[in-house]
């Protein structure tokens, strides 16, 4: 396999084009020799070495907690501003890296949450249990809580609209919901409360597409509070990438992160043969935002 393809598949915290840049900078060695060709073929037994990147990883919120644990599974309450796994400029400062300090074993991530999304993350300690759960993951019931701009006309509604790359945007990895998109996607929503131009929503995804809840809420006209990528103004994301999170962005967004929280996961435990419900209390920053908004509405 080509070295750039192998690296992007196995070490996905950098994209294929980013790995190509690292190779061009002389950062990769194979069996002790610096790699100079992007199309170099790697075979079984080759030893790759990576000299690392110069950029320091940003600080993250390490205040995660264990919600559920048995011999086979871990249920973690992840704070906002903590990547689950290596991606982009994050490698060491991730939930999986921190967990390995206490769990010196192979941990199997069963699903993903965006870095800014807080709440329940399900992890398996056993490869066979992980495989069984992933094969039947569509049967798992997941619920999320989101704070959105605006107030829906209906207290309950469903968005059944496929998702694909957003060709109208110049931002890589941005997605959109539209007729004719390639990935079927369906999410049910329930409005729990509204106050001062903001609504508290419960979201229940029936499919598991990347950014699904964020994209569907944007499509419905109710973007998530603090969402830099799928908020009302795409320029916010570009400014965030260029300058980081600034006071100006805080003033425009009103919330430091995307106000989305993985509230609960209900699954059938393949070994214990019973249903397990793992719930995470609403993140403190979201709870305080609700209090402040309600007080300002009085």
For 219, the enclosing helix (H) or strand (E) is helix 212-220
- Residue 277: strand pairing partners: 266
Joined tokens for residue 63: 């205040």
- Residue 246: strand pairing partners: none
> So which residues are the catalytic ones?
114
Task: Work out the number of other CB atoms within 10 angstroms of the CB of residue 98.
Answer: 16
Supply the DSSP string of 232-244, one letter for each residue.
S-THHHHHHHHH-
Sign of CA dihedral 12, 18, 24, 26: negative
SS (H, E, C) 77-146: EECCCCCCCCECCECCCCHHHHHCCCCCCCCEECCCCCCCCEEEEEEECCHHHHHHHHHCHHHCEEEEEE
C-alpha distance from residue 274 to each of 18, 73, 123, 125, 263 (Å): 44, 13, 17, 18, 20
Produce one character per residue of 244-254: b if its CB has 16 or more CB atoms within 10 Å, e if not: eeeeebeeebb
**177 near 185, Cβ under 8 Å?**
yes
Cα–Cα distance, 265 to 143 (Å, whole number): 7
């Amino acid at each position: 396999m080509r070295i750039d393809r192998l690296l992007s598949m196995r070490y996905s915290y950098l994209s294929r084009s980013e790995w190509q840049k690292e190779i061009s900078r002389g950062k990769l060695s194979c069996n002790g020799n610096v790699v100079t060709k992007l199309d170099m073929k790697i075979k079984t037994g080759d030893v790759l070495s990576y000299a690392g990147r110069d950029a320091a990883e940003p600080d993250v919120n390490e205040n995660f907690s264990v919600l559920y644990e048995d011999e086979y599974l871990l249920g973690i309450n992840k704070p906002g501003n903590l990547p689950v796994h290596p991606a982009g400029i994050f490698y060491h400062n991730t939930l999986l890296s921190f967990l390995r300090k206490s769990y010196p074993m192979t941990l199997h991530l069963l699903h993903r949450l965006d870095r800014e999304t807080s709440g329940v993350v399900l992890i398996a300690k056993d490869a066979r249990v992980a495989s069984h759960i992933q094969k039947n993951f569509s049967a798992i019931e997941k619920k999320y809580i989101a704070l959105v701009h605006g107030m829906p006309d209906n207290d309950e509604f469903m968005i059944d609209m496929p998702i694909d790359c957003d060709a109208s945007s110049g931002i890589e990895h941005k997605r959109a919901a539209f007729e004719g998109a390639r990935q079927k996607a369906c999410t049910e929503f329930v409005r729990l409360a509204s106050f001062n131009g903001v609504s508290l929503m419960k979201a229940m995804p029936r499919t598991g597409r990347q950014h699904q809840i964020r994209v569907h809420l944007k499509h419905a006209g109710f973007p998530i509070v603090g969402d830099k990528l799928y908020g009302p103004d795409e320029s916010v994301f570009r400014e965030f990438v260029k300058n980081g999170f600034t006071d100006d962005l805080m003033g425009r967004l009103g919330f430091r992160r995307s106000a989305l929280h993985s509230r609960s996961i209900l699954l059938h435990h393949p070994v214990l043969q019973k249903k397990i419900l793992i719930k995470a209390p609403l993140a403190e920053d979201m709870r305080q935002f609700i209090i402040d908004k309600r007080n300002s509405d009085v």
